Amino acid sequence: MLIKLITITVLVLIVASLLSGMIFMVRDKGQTTRTARALTVRIALSVALFGLLMLAVATGHLKPHGIYPANHPVQQQAPVHE
């Protein structure tokens, strides 16, 4: 549960950084480096989130799932050519 809360928090921070970059871009009109700094923070947060998710899957805190539920038989399979 904690990993999900951290993930949602980081996603909110990513969106906030993206919005602040947009606001800085409109207000500063390219005169300062605040836009580039905000977007750099967004990229760093995105990379950190990706690493966190990979670590959570590797340690078993998050369990990835496929398209189908666990007991659902797959309807289409690739034909076997011999």
| Reported confidence tier of residue 8, pLDDT bands at 50, 70, 90 | very high
Say what the pLDDT of residue 1 is.
Answer: 83
Mean pLDDT score, 66-82 = 64
**pLDDT per position as a tens digit, 17-57:** 999 999 988 898 878 888 889 999 999 999 999 999 999 98
Say what the pLDDT of residue 13 is.
Answer: 95
For tokens 């300062």, name the residue. 32
Q: Where along the chain do its domains lie?
A: 2-59
pLDDT above 70 coverage of the chain, percent? 82
Rounded CA-CA distance 80/74 in Å is 15
